[in-house]
A and B are shown apart, each in its own frame.
Chain A
Amino acid sequence: MMTPERLQAEKDVLKRKLPCYDYRFLDMETSKPYIVLPAKTNRGNIYTIRIELDEFPNEIPKAFVTKMLKTKLGKEMNDCSASMHTLTSEHGYTRICHYGYSSWTPMVSLYKIYVKCRLWLEMYELHLQTGHNMDYYLNHQE
C-alpha cells in the first residue's frame, strides 16, 4: 500500500505531466485501490488503462486495458503470452506485461507505467494492421 506521501507524489507527477487527463484514483480506502486513466493512441482510438495499487510500489502493479482485446486473428488476449507481452487476464480485461522483475524498482512512477501501457497500445494497433506479434516490435527484457 502506498504511503500518503507517495500517493501525493504520484498525484503531483500526474497533475504536471497529464494536466488535461481525466484520471481517477478509485477505492483508495479499500484493500483494492486502483487508478483509471484514458489513453488515446496516435491513430485516435480511445482506451482506458486500469492500474491496481494494492501492492504498489513494492510490487509490480497489475495493469489492464478495461476490455478484452482480440488479436488480428480474433483470439481473445486473455492468457500469458510472451509474444504479445500479456499476462493472464482478470475482470475480463486484457492484462499488459509492462515490467519484468529484473527491471522493477519502487521508484517507478505510475506515469511511467502509463506511458509503457500507451506504447503497448500503439504496438497492439500495429499488430492489428500488420499481423506481426507485438514482440516483433517490442523486445523482451533480459
Chain B
Amino acid sequence: MNEQELERFGQQIKRQGENQGGTMTQLVYNPVTGEFEQVAKGQAHEGDVVTEMTEKGFA
C-alpha cells in the first residue's frame, strides 16, 4: 500500500467506528499475506472478518 491507499484505509476504519455496522465494507485480516484489507460486505473470500474491532471500539 502506498501512502494514499493507507490513508484511504484509515478513513474506512474511522467510518466503520462511527457508523457501527452501517458501512458497506468489512475489515479482513488475511493471515496468509499478513495484511489487512477492506472488502465489500459478503465478498470476503479468504481471511478473517475483524470489523468488530473497529465497529465496537478498539479498547
Interface residues of A (CB under 8 A from B): 17-18, 20, 39-40, 42-43, 85, 97-100, 103, 115-116, 118-120, 122-123, 125-126, 129-130, 132, 135-142
Q: How far apart are B12's CB and chain A's nearest CB, in angstroms?
A: 9
Residue numbers in B under 8 Å from A99 (CB-CB): 59
Q: How far apart are A56's CB and chain B's nearest CB, in angstroms?
A: 16
Interface residue from A85, A130, A141 paired with B10 (Cβ < 8 Å): A130
Q: List 26 A-B contacts (CB under 8 A).
A: A17-B31, A43-B6, A85-B59, A97-B58, A97-B59, A98-B58, A99-B59, A115-B48, A115-B53, A118-B36, A119-B29, A119-B36, A119-B50, A119-B54, A120-B58, A122-B6, A122-B9, A126-B10, A129-B3, A137-B14, A138-B57, A138-B58, A138-B59, A139-B58, A140-B57, A140-B58
For chains A and B in complex, what number of residue pairs have CB atoms within 8 angstroms? 84
Residue numbers in A under 8 Å from B58 (CB-CB): 85, 97-98, 116, 119-120, 135, 138-141
